[in-house]
Structure 1
Amino acid sequence: MTLVTDVALRRVLDSRGNATVEADVHTESGGFGRAKAPSGASTGEYEAIELPASEAIASAREEAVPRLVGEVYAGDQREVDAALHAADGTDDFSQIGANSAVAISMAAAKAGADVAGLPLFQHLGGTFRGNTFPTPLGNAIGGGEHAADATDIQEFLAAPVGAPSVEEAVFANAAVHGEVADILDDRGVPCGKGDEGAWAPSIDDAAAFEIMAEAVETVGDDVGFEIRFGLDMAGAELYDDEEDGYVYGERVRDTEEQIEYVADLVDEYDLVYVEDPLDENDYEAFADLTDRVGDRTLVCGDDLFVTNVERLETGIEEGAANSILVKPNQIGTLSDAVDAVELAVENGYDQVISHRSGETEDTTIAHLAVATDAPYIKTGAVGGERTAKLNELIRIEHNA
């Protein structure tokens, strides 16, 4: 019933106005799935390769589609994803492009769920896990690679850890985003928005910490539950080989100073989450920081792990980080992403399912977060391509 009978690929727009890949998968019984690949700006050195959309589509049509149509069943995700790997023949999807691969992989999952008459999260993760839902991390202030002339730290993330429901958490993050705007206005600081919808004011990191602390406290008092915040520091972007350190404007911190700086921030602001605080190749420094603060915050590896089982295995051996950011397009297929989640959970690491800076209205990651029982999902606070995921989480919660 779920034999794949057609795979259609086309170019569509992402949230930055760039071309990305959309895939449609049809099955013999009328099942249908559609998915779109996101795209990153702050990308890890070891990510699967994203090709220009037209090139990825042409290559996938030639190499992958013949291995799928009439050959595999959409209801068997590992069979689909194994066919994609076989069609590509490389370790990093550099032949057909991770953007084509992940779009097809996610579309096939949706087609399989359609045939089974199940919501995607149940198709991916089995029966629903009670009232367990991810806490959304909402980007409220941003800079780094996502916005010019803004903070050195890439993301300041609201985390409504005390929210009694996904719905309340989603609206709390939106309220924090709005409160940040009000505080900036009171200070006479004009600003636009970065790639992920966060405010991108021309302020330094110290001012951003003050504003975030004030915003989460104000909104927390209003809603009556605890809201904390966290960071994506994008350490690989801050690190400069020539300077042999982490560059913050005119200041450069060496590795020991960076570890000390981050540990002090965790203590001062009670940070709930710190993503990529150090360079993507520095497992030892990640391990040192985790040893210092890992008992009270998530030290999350994004560029460090790139949703890659082999890199995660190295991190586990060295005690680097205590959580992994999971981005399906970073590794190419849903099966590969779930493998990383399972290895993480088996070894006491938390999984954080994540969007990309260049997003689409695709909602697959909302279902993946619920399917894998993720404690957090990182998917922005405002903006149609971000709220698509958040609204889908609310729907899942209401229909559970």
Structure 2
Amino acid sequence: MTLDDFYSIKNVDGLEIVDSRGNPTIRVFVRTVGGIAAYGDAPAGASKGSREAIEVRDPDRVGGMGVERAVKNVRDYVYPAIRGMDVRDQLAIDHTLIQLDGTPNKSKIGGNVTIATSIAVAKVAAKAQGVELFNYIGGSSANLIPVPLLNVINGGLHGGNKLKVQEFILIPAGFGEFSESLIASVEIYRKLKQVIISKYGKIYSGLGDEGGYSPPLESVDQALELLSSTIEELGFKGKVSLGIDAAATDFFNTSTEKYEIDGRALSPGELLDFYIELASKYDLVYMEDPFNENDLQSFAELNSKVQNMVIVGDDLYTTNVEYLRKGLRLRATGGVIVKPNQVGTLSETYQFCKEALDGFNKIVVSHRSGETEDSFVADLAVGLSAHFVKTGAPARGERTSKYNRLLEIEKIHHLRYRGKSA
């Protein structure tokens, strides 16, 4: 067996597994001639941008959520197409997957199939070369731990309350080490549970999809006040800031062109003023998807009016350079969400990040609400030198696996925490 044979793909197979929401998803296994094997999982979002890569699912199984057809696509199409290719050539393999699908949104073989395969290939290549996955992705420049964004109060499509804003986020940037920032967040999270139980009852201490609480709050102010007072009571004021993921597409009424939030119907201009008012009242430094996914102009206007807050595009861009370039021309954002399954391959994800950084946008590597216990997102965030990593509350195994991997990377490899430099 030659050295090239060692890295040559021998087998590719798929498996239907279960994600953190109890829905099926696909796991793809890749094995080389040299016997090196790894898998990649496809996560899934509840709140999705309309331009995301399409998941192939079974309309007649598990309420339309089964992935047996996706598994069949791995065996019938992906395996024959990439068999014999070198796992170290990520670009060539991803390009083959893109051509194999042949659609602009991966709807033929499935974005869930292509991203799970793409991740598996990267993991096998790193393993075969005996290097850490984050180093394989980013090389020697992968030397910083990103600041975590912890979703601790849920609303919108993730909550069971009247909150229209989807996520209320802790941002522990004011610490010297990632481990310190995470433990401080755990303290806040634990205290928040006690406060919620005392105010609203134990029934509201249950956890949402991403580990956050969903107390019976009715306004953005109530949620931010609850978090602010908890942070201050624990002595973390100035060290832990706040952010929100508005996911505004979900509360935008297309008929009236108004945003229905906190019992009001606001025009884009009125919503912009509302956000600026919130930023002046609270230590709010991060705002994701403040307007609907087609309103680049309002993003740009808000971005031009706030100095100490990062305006971030998720549904706006869906990790796709085509939409990113439109936003960069208007200077619509100061940050981008990176979710590889939105676009379907790691190579396309890397290109998106490069262009975002060239356009002076911060990188926020993110999980999805439907996750598995795989910690890949943590290595990806370090490998891409991301400013932030977003992977839910410090609870539930599919979330803590990512945080624990970052703790491991910091401890074993002595990487520096970005902290306030983010």
TM-score when normalising by structure 1: 0.96
Question: What residue is the counterpart of 2:396 in the other structure?
Answer: 383
Q: Does residue 373 in structure 1 map to residue 385 in structure 2?
A: yes
Counterpart CA distance in 1 for 2:145 and 2:120 is: 23
Question: What residue is the counterpart of 1:146 in the other structure?
Answer: 158
Which string of whole-angstrom CA distances, capped at 9 and with x for unpartnered residues, describes residues 293-318 of structure 1? 1x211100000010000100000001
Given the alignment, which residue of 130, 138, 151 partners 1:117? 130
Counterpart CA distance in 2 for 1:154 and 1:219 is: 25
State the secondary structure of the residue aligned to 1:193.
coil
Which string of whole-angstrom CA distances, capped at 9 and with x for unpartnered residues, describes residues 372-398 of structure 1? 111100001211000000001111111
Given the alignment, which residue of 263, 266, 270 partners 1:250? 263
Which string of whole-angstrom CA distances, capped at 9 and with x for unpartnered residues, describes residues 326-375 of structure 1? 00001101111111110011111101000001111111111111011111
State the secondary structure of the residue aligned to 1:158.
strand
Name the CA shift for 1:288/1:33 in 2 (closer, same or farther; >3 Å): same
Residues 142 and 384 in structure 2, CA contact (< 8 A), matched pair in contact too: no
Q: Does residue 259 in structure 1 map to residue 259 in structure 2?
A: no
Question: What residue is the counterpart of 2:227 in the other structure?
Answer: 212
Residues 233 and 276 in structure 1, CA contact (< 8 A), matched pair in contact too: yes
| Structure 2 portions without partners, runs of 5+ | 1-5, 58-66, 414-422
Q: Does residue 102 in structure 1 map to residue 134 in structure 2?
A: no
TM-score when normalising by structure 2: 0.91
Question: What residue is the counterpart of 1:82 in the other structure?
Answer: 95
Residues 63 and 88 in structure 1, CA contact (< 8 A), matched pair in contact too: no
Counterpart CA distance in 1 for 2:187 and 2:56 is: 37
Question: What residue is the counterpart of 1:362 in the other structure?
Answer: 374
Question: What residue is the counterpart of 2:353 in the other structure?
Answer: 341
Matched to 1:262, the amino acid is Y
Matched to 2:231, the amino acid is V
Given the alignment, which residue of 384, 405, 416 partners 1:392? 405
| 1:134-173 mapped onto 2 (5 Å cutoff) | 134-173=146-185
Counterpart CA distance in 1 for 2:20 and 2:162 is: 20
Question: What residue is the counterpart of 1:31 in the other structure?
Answer: 36
Q: CA deviation at 1:148?
A: 2.3
Counterpart CA distance in 2 for 1:10 and 1:55 is: 11
Given the alignment, which residue of 47, 56, 62 partners 2:52? 47
Counterpart CA distance in 1 for 2:209 and 2:13 is: 29
Residues 217 and 227 in structure 1, CA contact (< 8 A), matched pair in contact too: no
Residues 353 and 376 in structure 1, CA contact (< 8 A), matched pair in contact too: yes
Matched to 1:15, the amino acid is S
Q: CA deviation at 1:128?
A: 5.0
Counterpart CA distance in 2 for 1:219 and 1:368 is: 32
Q: CA deviation at 1:168?
A: 1.6
Percent identity of the aligned residues? 36
Q: CA deviation at 1:249?
A: 4.9
Please give the root-mean-square deviation of Cα atoms over the aligned residues, in Å.
Answer: 1.4
Counterpart CA distance in 2 for 1:83 and 1:363 is: 26
Question: What residue is the counterpart of 2:22 in the other structure?
Answer: 17
| 1:192-341 mapped onto 2 (5 Å cutoff) | 192-205=206-219, 206-221=221-236, 226-293=239-306, 295-341=307-353
Counterpart CA distance in 1 for 2:184 and 2:26 is: 33
Residues 229 and 271 in structure 1, CA contact (< 8 A), matched pair in contact too: yes
Which string of whole-angstrom CA distances, capped at 9 and with x for unpartnered residues, describes residues 236-256 of structure 1? 101111232111253111110
| Structure 1 portions without partners, runs of 5+ | none
Counterpart CA distance in 2 for 1:188 and 1:328 is: 38
Residues 140 and 176 in structure 1, CA contact (< 8 A), matched pair in contact too: no
Residues 152 and 248 in structure 1, CA contact (< 8 A), matched pair in contact too: yes
Name the CA shift for 1:270/1:357 in 2 (closer, same or farther; >3 Å): same
Residues 101 and 108 in structure 2, CA contact (< 8 A), matched pair in contact too: yes
Counterpart CA distance in 2 for 1:347 and 1:307 is: 14
Counterpart CA distance in 1 for 2:210 and 2:400 is: 11
Counterpart CA distance in 2 for 1:219 and 1:12 is: 40
Residues 12 and 74 in structure 2, CA contact (< 8 A), matched pair in contact too: no
State the secondary structure of the residue aligned to 2:214.
strand
Counterpart CA distance in 1 for 2:182 and 2:108 is: 39
Q: CA deviation at 1:59?
A: 2.2
Counterpart CA distance in 2 for 1:253 and 1:187 is: 30
Counterpart CA distance in 2 for 1:120 and 1:219 is: 36
State the secondary structure of the residue aligned to 2:276.
helix
Question: What residue is the counterpart of 1:7 in the other structure?
Answer: 12
Which string of whole-angstrom CA distances, capped at 9 and with x for unpartnered residues, describes residues 167-190 of structure 1? 122222222221211111221344
Q: CA deviation at 1:156?
A: 0.3
State the secondary structure of the residue aligned to 1:199.
coil
Q: How many residues align?
A: 395
Matched to 1:149, the amino acid is N
Counterpart CA distance in 2 for 1:142 and 1:383 is: 15
Counterpart CA distance in 1 for 2:49 and 2:137 is: 26
Residues 112 and 341 in structure 2, CA contact (< 8 A), matched pair in contact too: yes
Residues 98 and 331 in structure 1, CA contact (< 8 A), matched pair in contact too: yes
